[in-house]
């Protein structure tokens, strides 16, 4: 199947109008999609037809822009014009169609509809016009798509992968609700918010070290349990050695702590202190390679 897609390097309105003049005898159709929160809409604008549909909630903006292309084909089917050009500001949508990603049911439908129209004698060119060219934003398709966010939802099928983000958010929400009931768990005071990830810019050793400190279990402070030995004591003040003692309580290390963070609870250490400062502190007090 041959698709005609133009992804010209168009850097100005003047260039756009030059390109447009090449299609002066074509039926011009503009497509766009819009998303606001969970609402998504697609729109298509042709000389004699303006259409918008609101997709089911949580559909992606990519799905909206793909669906807008199919709406354009639907208009072409009902128009007398033989030669048509479809303008889109979504390069990813056009590339997905061009590469025949048929695992997406919307793209499969576009390919089928396009093939049917080509076989009926239509000539269809898809053309990408980047947003920065300036014909979008004030254009009818953009405004129509935004207006579509407030109409009734249409019964349109879309890839289940679009729902992964909201499924993930729901799981995190449920997980947080369960965790909020575990206030007697000692880790709750360290990390009441479960939606946390260690900075990916940290090295492997530092990431593991921060996680061990966060859960309060380190080789230095807890290996005595496995070995059947007595609990180790702080070399500086002879108090029982725990992560909380190292990071918050030990007065002998308070001067060193002040150089890296000035908080007094484990919760504050892990919520409000940069991981690199915690690492720098344990290096300063010579615990880095022992924890």
Applying CB under 5 A, the residues found at the interface with Zn ion are: 234, 236-237, 239, 250
Beta strands (DSSP E) in 56-122 are 83-88
CB of 238 to Zn ion, least distance (A): 7
Q: How far is the CB of 247 from Zn ion (least distance, A)?
A: 11
Sheet with 83-88: strands ordered across: 4-6, 123-128, 83-88, 27-36, 39-46, 49-55
CB nearer to Zn ion: pick between 79 and 249: 249
Least Å distance, CB 220 to Zn ion, is 13
DSSP 22: T
Our CB check for Zn ion shows the closer of 187 and 256 to be: 256
Torsion of CA 47, 53, 54, 55, to 10 degrees: -120
Per-residue burial over 7-18, b if 16 or more Cβ lie within 10 Å, else e, is eeebeeeeebee
Strand stretches in the chain, DSSP E:
4-6, 27-36, 39-46, 49-55, 83-88, 123-128
Quote the least distance from Cβ 273 to Zn ion, whole Å: 19
Task: Compare residues 12 and 254 and give the one whose CB is closer to Zn ion.
Answer: 254
Q: How far is the CB of 175 from Zn ion (least distance, A)?
A: 35
Q: Which is nearer to Zn ion, 171 or 237 (CB)?
A: 237
Q: Which is nearer to Zn ion, 133 or 291 (CB)?
A: 291
Planar angle of CA 3, 159, 168, nearest 5 degrees? 140
């Amino acid at each position: 199947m041959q698709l005609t897609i133009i992804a010209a390097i168009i850097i100005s309105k003047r260039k756009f109008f030059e390109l447009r003049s090449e299609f002066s005898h074509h039926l011009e159709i503009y497509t766009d999609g819009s998303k606001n929160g969970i609402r998504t809409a697609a729109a298509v604008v042709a000389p004699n037809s303006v259409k918008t549909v609101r997709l089911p909630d949580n559909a992606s903006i990519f799905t909206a822009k793909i669906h807008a292309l199919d709406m354009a084909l639907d208009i072409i089917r009902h128009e007398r014009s033989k030669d048509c050009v479809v303008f889109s500001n979504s390069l990813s949508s056009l590339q997905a169609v061009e590469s025949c990603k048929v695992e997406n049911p919307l793209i499969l439908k576009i390919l089928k509809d396009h093939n049917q129209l080509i076989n009926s004698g239509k000539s269809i060119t898809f053309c990408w016009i980047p947003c920065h060219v300036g014909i979008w934003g004030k254009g009818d398709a953009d405004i129509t798509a935004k207006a579509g966010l407030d109409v009734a939802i249409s019964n349109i099928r879309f890839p289940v992968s679009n729902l992964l983000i909201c499924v993930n958010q729901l799981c995190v929400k449920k997980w947080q609700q369960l965790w909020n009931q575990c206030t007697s768990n000692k880790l709750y005071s360290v990390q009441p918010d479960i939606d946390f990830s260690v900075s990916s810019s940290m090295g492997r050793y530092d990431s593991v070290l921060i996680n061990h400190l966060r859960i309060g279990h380190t080789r230095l402070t807890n290996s005595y349990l496995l070995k059947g030995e007595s609990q180790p004591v702080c070399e500086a003040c002879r108090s029982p050695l725990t992560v909380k003692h190292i990071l918050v309580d030990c007065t002998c290390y308070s001067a060193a702590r002040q150089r890296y963070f000035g908080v007094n609870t484990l919760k504050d250490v892990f919520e409000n202190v940069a991981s690199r400062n915690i690492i720098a502190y344990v290096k300063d007090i010579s615990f880095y390679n022992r924890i």
